[in-house]
Amino acid sequence: MPSDMAVDYDGLIPNNVGLNADPRLRRALEQWHPSYLDWWMDRGPDGFQAADVYLRTAVGVDQEGWAKFGYVRMPEYRWGILLAPQVEGRTIGFGAHKGEMAWQEVPGEYRAMLRRLITVQGDTEPASVEQQRRLGATAPSLYDLRNLFQVNVEEARHLWAMVYLLQKYFGRDGREEAEDLLRRRSGDRDTPRLLGAFNERTPDWLAFFMFTFFTDRDGKMQLHALAQSGFDPLSRTCRFMLTEEAHHMFIGQSGIGRVLEAICAAMKKAGIDDPHDIARVRQLGVIDLPTMQKRANMHFSLTLDLFGSELSTNAANAYQAGIKGRYLEDQIDDDHALTGATYPVLRLKDGAIVREEVPALSALNMRLRDDFVADAQSAVERWWNRIVERSGIDYRITLPHVAFNRRIGEFATIEADPEGKVLSAQEWARRRDEFLPSAEDDAFVASLMKPVREPGKFASWIAPPRTGIDNKPGDFEYVKLA
C-alpha cells in the first residue's frame, strides 16, 4: 500500500489513498470512469483530443517536485486522486467541536451538509471545462493553448477529487451525486450547473484570463475555507487542490498582464497618450484600456455572486459544525467560536448602502468575500497596474464597488455604478455601456481572436511571457497538433 507521499501509478486510477486496499471503492470509481471519459470527449476541449500537449502531471504531494512534465494526449492524462499528507494528531480548529480530533469518517449529523458542500464544489470543476471548451480554436499562441489545456485537465482532476469523497464516504447517495456531476451542463436550460457564474459563456480569451483571475480566485477562497474542515479527508483533498489552483491564477494574472503590456507598448510606439482614444488604439490590433476595465467590472461582479448572501444561516451552521472555516482560520487570533463577536456588513437600508455590525457567525460569507476582494485588489495592483504604470500611461484598473451589477445578496434588487452610487433603473439602462462591455466592445475583442499556431509567435493583442513553462525556450512547441 502506498504511503501518504507516494502515488500509486500502476492501476487505472493513480492515487495516494490506497485504492487497492478498498475494492468496493475501486469498483465504484472504475464504473464511473467510462462515463467520465465520455463526458471529457463530449464536453472537454473541442478539437484537440489527439494533439500532444506538454502538460504537468502530479506524481507526488510533497512540497517539492510533485509535478512531472511531458507530452500527453489529453484523453490519456493520468487524472488521479491525490490528498495532502495526513497531519498527525490534527484537531478541529473552530466551532462547537473545537479541540476534538478531526473526523476520519463523516459525522452522521452533518452528513447532508457535507454532501451538499462537496457536490457544489464538485459541480464547478467540470463546469469551467465546459465553459472553456471552444477556446482552443482561437488561442493566441501554442504557449497559451497549452496553459488552457493544463487548466482544463486539472479542473477535471478536481472533479475526480470531489467524486472520490462522494463515492468513498456517502454510499449510494454519493454515487448518484457523482453521476449527476457528469449530467449537468454549463449553460443548459434544463440541467444547468449549480452556480450562476458557471453557466455564463467564456466566449474569448480575454474572458478566459479574467475568469482564471477572478473566478479561480473564488475557488481558492472556497478551498481555503474547506481546507480548514474538521472532516479530515476534505481538508486534505482541498489542501492539495490549492497547489494546482495557484497555477490557474498565475495564468489569469500573467495573461491579463501580458494583454496590458501589449496595449501599452503599442500605444507608446504609436505616440498615443490618451487611453480613451479608443478608435486609434484599436487600430493598432490591441484591446483598449477602458474595455479591459469593463471586462474586469463584469467578471468581478459575477464572481462576487458566488459568495452567496451576505447574511447566511447555512454558513453559520457549517462553521459551528466545524465543516467550513474562515480563510486562514488557523492563523486568526480569536476564540474560533465567534461568541458575541460582530462583523461589519454592507446592507441596503431604505434604498441606501449602509454599514452595519451584525453577529459574526451570520456574516461568514461576507467575511470570505471581503478576504477575496482584498486578495484580488492586491493582485490587480501587483500584476496589472504596475505594468501600466511602468509604461508611463496614465490609467489604473480599479475594482468596482461590491453593490455594482449584483444578482445575489443585499444589492440584487438595485443598480449601482462602479463607485457604489445607487442609480435609477432608467439611469442604469442609459449608462450601462459605460460600465460593462457593450455589444460593440465584445465584437471588437472577438475580431482579434485569430489562432496563432507557429511556435514562438503571439497574436498582436498579447505580449509573450517572460519565461516558458518548465523553463522551456521561447519557440518551444507546447502543443503538437495532430
Give the list of residues 6+ apart from residue 340 with CB closer than 8 angstroms, or none: none
Find the largest Cα–Cα distance for the chain.
68
**Nearer Cβ to Fe ion (131/138):** 131
**Nearer Cβ to Fe ion (163/388):** 163
Q: Taking the complex as a whole, how short is the minimal distance between the CB of residue 126 and Fe ion, in angstroms?
A: 10
**Nearer Cβ to Fe ion (245/305):** 245
Q: Taking the complex as a whole, how short is the minimal distance between the CB of residue 379 and Fe ion, in angstroms?
A: 15
Q: Taking the complex as a whole, how short is the minimal distance between the CB of residue 59 and Fe ion, in angstroms?
A: 19
Binding site for Fe ion (CB under 5 A): 125, 155, 158, 216, 219, 245, 248
Q: Taking the complex as a whole, how short is the minimal distance between the CB of residue 444 and Fe ion, in angstroms?
A: 28
Give the list of residues 6+ apart from residue 265 with CB closer than 8 angstroms, or none: 391, 463
**Nearer Cβ to Fe ion (14/418):** 14
Rounded Cα distance between 208 and 256, Å, is 10
**Nearer Cβ to Fe ion (208/411):** 208
**Nearer Cβ to Fe ion (110/209):** 209
Q: Taking the complex as a whole, how short is the minimal distance between the CB of residue 60 and Fe ion, in angstroms?
A: 19
Which amino acid does the sequence have at 455? P
**Cβ(334)–Cβ(130) under 8 Å?**
no
**Nearer Cβ to Fe ion (77/103):** 77
Q: Which residue has the cell 500611461?
A: 393
**Cβ(229)–Cβ(376) under 8 Å?**
no
CA 278: distance to chain centroid?
A: 31
Rounded Cα distance between 114 and 109, Å, is 10
**Nearer Cβ to Fe ion (124/291):** 124
Q: Taking the complex as a whole, how short is the minimal distance between the CB of residue 158 and Fe ion, in angstroms?
A: 4
Which amino acid does the sequence have at 308? G
Q: Taking the complex as a whole, how short is the minimal distance between the CB of residue 244 and Fe ion, in angstroms?
A: 7
Q: Taking the complex as a whole, how short is the minimal distance between the CB of residue 299 and Fe ion, in angstroms?
A: 14
Per-residue cell: 144: 497559451
Rounded Cα distance between 393 and 289, Å, is 10
**Cβ(181)–Cβ(122) under 8 Å?**
yes
Q: For residue 453, give Cα distances in angstroms to 352, 474, 479.
A: 52, 13, 9
* Vertex 306: Cα angle to 118 and 232 (nearest 5): 25
**Cβ(150)–Cβ(74) under 8 Å?**
no
**Nearer Cβ to Fe ion (80/93):** 80
**Nearer Cβ to Fe ion (198/404):** 198
**Nearer Cβ to Fe ion (250/476):** 250
Q: What's the chain's length in residues?
A: 482
- The residues that bridge with 6 in the sheet, in sequence order, are 60
**Nearer Cβ to Fe ion (245/310):** 245
Which amino acid does the sequence have at 83? L
**What's the 3-state SS for 129-190?**
HHHCCCHHHHCCCHHHHHHHHHHHHHHHHHHHHHHHHHHHHCHHHHHHHHHHHHHCCCCCCC
Q: For residue 216, give Cα distances in angstroms to 95, 205, 250, 344, 369.
A: 27, 15, 10, 26, 13
Q: Taking the complex as a whole, how short is the minimal distance between the CB of residue 245 and Fe ion, in angstroms?
A: 5
* Vertex 251: Cα angle to 6 and 393 (nearest 5): 150
Q: Taking the complex as a whole, how short is the minimal distance between the CB of residue 83 and Fe ion, in angstroms?
A: 15
Rounded Cα distance between 375 and 285, Å, is 31
Q: Taking the complex as a whole, how short is the minimal distance between the CB of residue 125 and Fe ion, in angstroms?
A: 5
**Cβ(136)–Cβ(205) under 8 Å?**
no
Q: Taking the complex as a whole, how short is the minimal distance between the CB of residue 208 and Fe ion, in angstroms?
A: 12
